[in-house]
Chains A and B, each alone.
Chain A
């Protein structure tokens, strides 16, 4: 479903963040992107989210070339993707329910549809009881589950996670990984950038390892084989 062909990314200061990146992701796959800080994980995520444009190469999503999109088209592309960040990025003045409903309001879903879908997703991530709480009343793990709920409430085909467990303790991380696995089983493709060794080793999924902007290994059922 996702193809990256000869992707290079140079920043304005001349630093080459990504060099000749090639990989395909099939529908329903769960792919880890690992590597040290500065290896190019964040840049790769930014390219996928169209926050940055590649300097050269092509990105194809669902047989559609998305390498160069007009500013106007980007929001519609993002509606097919869910995003989860390390720092949750919840709206502090909205309740859990509102934070999730917000993602549906933005794409102008019918209120009836919103009232049906949001509780369902909150139940999936186990936060039904917390619906009326505000983010600051929740633990880190709970906040990340809210952002997971928000990411999947519009049924995206692709879920992009940027260090989703980076701010969480090991037990909570495990919990988030279980939720991600659930989502993956339902058919959502997941790309997850991380440098949490245990999680990668436990999961036994495909692992793409980046170093200095290049792919140094791409293994099915791999482990975290990059030495920090």
Chain B
């Protein structure tokens, strides 16, 4: 496409938006409406991920060592753990430390464990964090194979539950988003169809003079893209401001427990802005392609 042609297309597109200003307002409004709904789902999802990542970060593995391991062996085990790429931090907890911790935990009833110092029944252990929580089970198994390690414990049930529920919410939001996107494309294509219908004659003239289908499509595509983009920016503005307002307001009320664990507004807007821009653009463009199909058959 030549530069001049592109200039003509953009000129035509902007012309049309002005000329059919009510249609344009209708198109933009439906983009805004749909993106607001998708945006709410998106914000929900981002927050779920955010909270889930907290929980996931807290997953710890505890590797108990056999009772009779020597100091040199402990060093060796530590080296082996360090060479495992899946493991994040490694903290050694000797049985004395473990007993100390335990006695602090039971507090007043220290008498229960008095005398245990000489004959400590607890084990030396390593406390590990892992990089990918979904791999916890397998990492635990591989550590258990290391000589000198008796067993590995982690909160299997909690980990499984967290992972399952985040996976479920992720796929649910994906499905909801896809359905909403399809509905919105349908709405936009119908709105644009009305403007295309109004220019049916113009399109047929273009085709008789020898315009290619793409030549006819481009101005409508640009029009759809502009409308979609305006809609996306408006929706982002509304949603971003509401979210900012909500999290700010909630801070001073009983809701602060919730709002404090939510993604901060600035970060949220940063994270969703490209989804909105791309979403708005594609809704506009796909909508206009769909709406034109039957008018190109001349």
Interface residues of A, Cβ cutoff 8 Å to B: 49, 51, 71-72, 75-79, 81, 83, 89-91, 93, 102-103, 105-108, 110-111, 150, 154
Contact = CB atoms under 8 A, between A and B. Distances in A.
B139 interface: no
B206 interface: yes
Interface residues of B, number: 20
Given A89-B201, A89-B205, A91-B202, A111 B210 contact: no
Contacts of A150: 209
A213 to B, nearest CB: 23
Interface string B188-216: 00000000000001101111111111010
A106 B206 contact: yes
Nearest to B15: A93
B8 A105 contact: yes
A72 B207 CA distance: 12
Contact of A75 (B201, B204, B211): B211
A89 B207 CA distance: 12
Contacts of A91: 201-202, 205
A83 B202 CA distance: 15
A139 to B, nearest CB: 20
Nearest to A153: B209
B201 A105 contact: no
Contacts of A49: 208
B8 A89 contact: no
B5 A83 contact: no
Interface in B6-33: 8, 19
B2 interface: yes
The 10 closest A-B pairs by CB, nearest first: A79-B210, A78-B210, A106-B211, A75-B212, A103-B209, A75-B210, A83-B208, A89-B205, A108-B2, A106-B209
A111 B208 contact: no
B14 to A, nearest CB: 14
Contacts of A154: 210
B4 interface: yes
A90 B201 CA distance: 9
B4 A111 contact: yes
Contacts of A103: 209-210
A75 B207 contact: yes
B205 A76 contact: no
B75 interface: no
Contacts of B211: 75, 106
B109 to A, nearest CB: 87
Interface in B214-241: 215
Nearest to B5: A108
B209 A76 contact: no
A78 B208 contact: yes
A149 B95 CA distance: 99
B258 interface: no
B298 interface: yes
Given A78-B207, A89-B204, 8 more contacts: A51-B298, A72-B213, A89-B201, A106-B206, A107-B210, A108-B1, A108-B2, A150-B209
A80 to B, nearest CB: 8
B209 A78 contact: yes
Contacts of B212: 72, 75
Contacts of A89: 201, 204-205, 208
Contacts of A110: 4
Nearest to A79: B210
Contact of B210 (A71, A72, A76, A90): A76
Contacts of A51: 298
A159 to B, nearest CB: 13
Nearest to B8: A105
Nearest to B202: A91
A182 B238 CA distance: 64
A181 B243 CA distance: 72
A110 to B, nearest CB: 8
Contact of A105 (B5, B208, B213, B298): B5
A34 to B, nearest CB: 23
Contacts of B201: 89, 91
B296 to A, nearest CB: 9
A134 B205 CA distance: 17
Nearest to A105: B8
Contacts of A77: 210
A110 B3 CA distance: 10
A102 B210 contact: no
6 contacts: A72-B212, A75-B215, A76-B210, A89-B204, A91-B201, A91-B205
A105 B6 CA distance: 11
Contacts of B2: 108
